Structure 1
Amino acid sequence: MQIILPMQSRQSIELRQHQQLALTPQLQQAIRLLQYSAQDLEQEVAQALLDNPLLERDEEYDIEGAAAEPAASHDDDGFREPAEFASRSRDGDDEYVRPEAAPAPTLRQHLLEQLRLTRAAPRDRVLVELLIDELDDNGYLVTPLDELADLLPGELGIERCDWQAALRLLQSFDPPGVGAASISDCLLLQLQRGERDAPPEVLACARELAREHLALLASGNLPGLRRKLGCSLGVLRDARQLLLQLDPKPGRGWAHDVADYVRPEVIVRKAGGRWKAFINPAVMPGLRVNADYERIIRQSRQASGEGLQQQLQQAHGLIRSIHQRFDTILRVASAVIEHQQAFFELGEQALRPLVLRDIAQELQMHESTVSRATRHKYAQTPWGVFELKYFFTTAVSRDDGETTSSAAVRSLIQDLVQGEPAAKPLSDNLIASMLAERGVVIARRTVAKYREAAGIPAASLRRARARLDSMG
């Protein structure tokens, strides 16, 4: 017989040391502010001013300072703070407000106003309003009539002919072509409006092109079009010109998307013979803690509640986080601009290969910190306003052993295409050969990838466009 004794567990106390990074609220706030854009930061500051009575903007209550005109600051390059920025800081609580225009009517409002002026029956008005609600931003009817008919109860007795009558009424409204189901239908509706503006043979050719041969017209196959249509070259040319006068997106004139502007946080200018980065003073939120409130709270800590103490800490923490944010952005931007000095002298073709890891190792930061400091952060340069991430680009090997950036290769391809003969555009193989003559050896498929990234169509489409342009 074998007896198995149970194992006895022993408890012991051990003292171990280890390091652990605690994600404190202050650190969380610093990370959040760093990834904010300039507009997001401004909203965050505005909300903090509402929530925390201890925070105030600089010079908000400095009556004497507001009355005195501050002297303009100059540096060795003659850079001066713009007048609107200076006036904004002097105005104190009156923040800069973008001028607002009266809201323009939408496409729906424009169509409903026309419907109101008609003598349509109430039943037809309701159907037309339902059709208007189904239009997209370009004025197209995206839902087929059969599907719309299924949405209404059958006991209403609405037939398909009722929907068709409502659609014809809608298509008679301005703009011409509204309510179409396709681009072909849209062009045909507009041709129907302008039948008196062109000879009958040109109108007939244009209608046939819009109805059946838009794809062939886009390909530039003129002999094939003439064979199918049986018309002369002059009639085909006039029909094409007539189609070009039409609007394939009739509703876009009422799509009033408000274009927001970009506020660069970094200004790049030359100082001491080198291009350097400077923080834009217009995006620096001047915040401070009210000195009188802070003195009262610190002198009577026991009398004041924990709420005021916490708000005081939060106010100082926000100010420190904002200063840390701009310090990080300036450090990263300075390193990036130092790497890309040639770009500011020569342009895009002089961009050097640069990745996040290069800046992170140089500044002893994490790559994620560099990414946050460059995403949605813009720099005002002599070549325009660019996101800081624009200056990061992959490397492409040259035959001399050196490397160039992918952005520079795209710029070279754009220059080659712009200088090509219109009737004989450069193929991707020929572009690759011409790049190889300049020392950039890349494959044809790589040329195609960079060409598509630059928004350049293929050689066949460029050739078709040249043929069509030669008709005009």
Structure 2
Amino acid sequence: MKASLVLKMGQQLTMTPQLQQAIRLLQLSTLDLQQEIQEALDSNPMLEREEDGEDFDNPDPMAESLDQKIENTPSENSSPDSQYEEPVNTMESFEEGDWGERIPNELPVDTAWEDIYQTSASSLPSNDDEEWDFTSRTSSGESLQSHLLWQLNLAPMSDTDRLIATTLIDCINPQGYLDESLEEVLESFDPELGIELDEVEVVLRRIQQFEPAGIGARDLRECLLLQLRQLPADTAWLNEATRLVSDHLGILGSRDYSLLMRRMKLKEDELRQIVDLIQSLNPRPGSQIETSEPEYIVPDVIVRKDNNRWLVELNQDAMPRLRVNAQYASFVKRADSSADNTFMRNQLQEARWFIKSLLSRNETLMKVATQIVEHQRGFLEHGDEAMKPLVLHDIAEVVGMHESTISRVTTQKYMHTPRGIYELKYFFSSHVSTAEGGECSSTAIRAIIKKLVAAENPKKPLSDSKIAGLLEEQGIQVARRTVAKYRESLGIAPSSERKRLL
């Protein structure tokens, strides 16, 4: 092939660092944005936080007040007729006060600093204070294993039994059940220890007496029986509940109450009380131990109603105000090309772009939130059943932005409304056609299904086909499979599992 030069014209989109920064800030949540702002404040001296009540025109009020103090202090050559008074010797006044009489010049050798001076540690409540709970202020969540090990350390055991108990605790899953069989646990020990299967089973019985009740069970039946055994002996219907769990748990799971009444020779009212006692037990005892740290949500937008109008405003407490440090900015010289001046100029430019990106983020968030509120007024007035179908394209077309931008704005951004705090994505949902030719939001359909199930007869719960028929009577055309999908998303069990005794 012959080499040749070819000229071609084309367009290429190049993202500048400023644009990349604006996009990155746009998709950050409020907590992540606060961390990003703090990092920018720590790394860029040109940025500073504008505090409430601070004079915006005064770049450094502390410096000004310090200068005034220096100017007002008389010099050595000041005349006695000067309008300023003679400065007071603060050290002499301090020694002549009450504190001077209480603080000795020298401390005895056997005296500690805390015996004379009050420290921050001494201000903490003592361990004897009943209201002081150190773990509640320092712990970040407790695992089930650590909770069981803490109880194990309080139980008197031999070294061999403690080794067996530690191994068994490691085999308990987060739900509280023993994952491994006793034979498999026995095989994990060194044969030279001479541990037998009976010893493992005895230690397991000890662990099953720990809290929470029902821990260390190998199946559901054993878990429920362990909890029943820890109830007071005078508990009503305790013996009947123990017998039902031991012999007829499968029939109870299938909701065949007629067969249960025949097998146990009970009346319907008696069986109802026994079932209520069993349902008060926890089939997953390990879930009582909270292992995850709490997650806090800071709303970005606040919506409130004023004079029959819905007002949208940014959460100012979550949006720190930044500005350029005027004192440092005044040090930048235009004609100076030194390394220090170039560094300050670059920092000043980055600070201005960062503030501009934050303003752009807030403006975009306000535009999108305002349009969402305008579109979903029915939800704010009447609840989920009045939710209208909404997709990203609808908002993008109104505000004149791309759908990807709307997706970034609505991700991990929350709106505080009189009905609660919702993620902005909650207001977007697909639609289903109605008999009149209109559209109904999938969120509204879920709310209707939840309402129908809450009002159903517990003896004859509504099937998915029946729910679809009831929706069709309201003009909403939904297939049975769609009803099943919505029901599962709401965490509602099938009709066969919702059957209850009156």
The TM-score bracket by the shorter chain reads 0.7 to 0.9
Q: Does 1:265 align with 2:300?
A: yes
1:51 aligns with 2:43: yes
Between the aligned partners of 1:218 and 1:297, the Cα distance in structure 2 is 78
Matched, 1:148 2:185: yes
Is 1:295–2:325 an aligned residue pair? no
Cα distance 1:415–1:245, how it changes in 2: closer, same or farther (>3 A)? closer
Deviation at 1:60, TM superposition (A): 8.4
CA distance in 2, matches of 1:410, 1:174: 39
Give CA-to-partner distance per residue, 1:112-165, whole Å, 9 cap, x none. 343333331111112212222333334322333333334344344333333222
- Which deviates more, 381-390 or 412-421? 412-421
Cα deviations across residues 156-180 of structure 1 (Å, max 9, x unaligned)? 4333333222212211223332211
2:166 pairs, out of 129, 132, 153, with: 129
Coordinate RMSD, CA, aligned: 3.0
The 3 A distance-change label for structure 1 pair 352 and 146 is same
Helix, strand or coil for the counterpart of 1:251? helix
Aligned to 1:430: 466
Residue number in structure 2 paired with 1:382: 418
| 1:284 is the counterpart of 2:276 | no
Is 1:326 the counterpart of 2:362? The answer is yes
> d(CA) in 2 for partners of 1:241 and 1:51?
61
Aligned-pair distance for 1:379? 0.9
2:451 to 407, 415, 435: 415
1:122–1:398 Cα change, 3 Å = same
Match of 1:11 among 1, 4, 15: 4
Q: Deviations over 1:84-119 (max 9, x none)?
A: xxxxxxxxxxxxxxxx73537654444334333333
Shift of 1:183: 2.2
What secondary structure is seen at the aligned counterpart in 2 of 1:380?
strand
Aligned residue identity for 1:33: L
Identity %: 42
Which of 316, 330, 333 matches 2:352? 316
Query: In structure 2, what is the Cα distance between the partners aligned to 1:271 and 1:114?
Result: 56
8 Å contact from structure 1 (residues 137, 255) kept in 2: no
For the residues of structure 1 that align with 2:184 and 2:353, how far apart are their CA atoms? Answer: 58
Which SS does the other structure have where 1:404 is aligned? strand
Identify which range, 393-402 or 412-421, moves more after superposition. Answer: 412-421
1:233, distance to aligned residue in structure 2 (A): 5.2
Q: Which residue of 2 aligns with 1:440?
A: 476
Cα distance change on mapping 1:130 and 1:450 into 2, 3 Å: same
Aligned CA distance change for structure 1 residues 50 and 214 (closer, same or farther; 3 Å): farther
Q: In structure 2, what residue type is equivalent to 1:158?
A: I
Pick from 241, 247, 256: which aligns with 1:206? 241
Distance 1:240 1:272 in 2: 52
2:207: which partner in 1? 170
The amino acid that maps onto 2:50 is D
SS of 2:233's partner is helix
Corresponding residue to 2:32 among 24, 27, 40: 40
Q: CA deviation at 1:256?
A: 5.1
Counterpart CA distance in 1 for 2:158 and 2:337 is 75
Q: Does the Cα contact within 8 Å between 1:379 and 1:388 map onto a contact in 2?
A: yes
1:205–1:235 CA contact under 8 A, matched in 2 = no
Contact 1:377–1:388, Cα closer than 8 Å, also in 2: yes
Scaled by the length of structure 2, what TM-score is found? 0.76
Per the TM alignment, residue 355 of structure 1 is displaced from its structure 2 partner at its CA by: 0.7
**Is the 8 Å Cα contact of residues 144 and 291 (structure 2) preserved in structure 1?**
no
| Unmatched tracts of structure 1, length 5 or more | 1-7, 68-99
Give the aligned partner of residue 83 of structure 1.
Answer: none
Task: Between 114-123 and 321-330, report the one with greater CA deviation.
Answer: 114-123
Name the residue aligned to 1:197.
234
Indicate if the aligned counterparts of 1:297 and 1:304 stay in contact, CA closer than 8 A: no
Larger Rg: 2
Moved more, 365-374 or 18-27: 18-27
Secondary structure of the 2:48 match is strand
SS in 2 for 1:196: coil
8 A contact 2:301–2:416 mirrored in 1: yes
Q: 2:21 aligns with which of 14, 23, 29?
A: 29
SS at match of 1:304: helix
Q: Which amino acid aligns with 2:197?
A: R
Q: How far 1:325 sits from its partner (Å)?
A: 1.4
SS in 1 for 2:462: coil
- Aligned partner of 2:490 in structure 1 is 454
Three-state SS of the structure 1 residue aligned to 2:285 is coil
Deviations 1:41-63 (Å, cap 9, x if unpaired)?
11111222222233221138947
Question: In structure 2, how many angstroms separate the alpha carbons of the residues matched to 1:135 and 1:326?
Answer: 48
Contact 1:426 1:459 in 2 (8 A): yes
Cα deviation 1:431-467 (Å, max 9, x = unaligned): 33332232222223323322333333333333x22x2
Q: What is the letter of the counterpart of residue 172 of structure 2? A: L
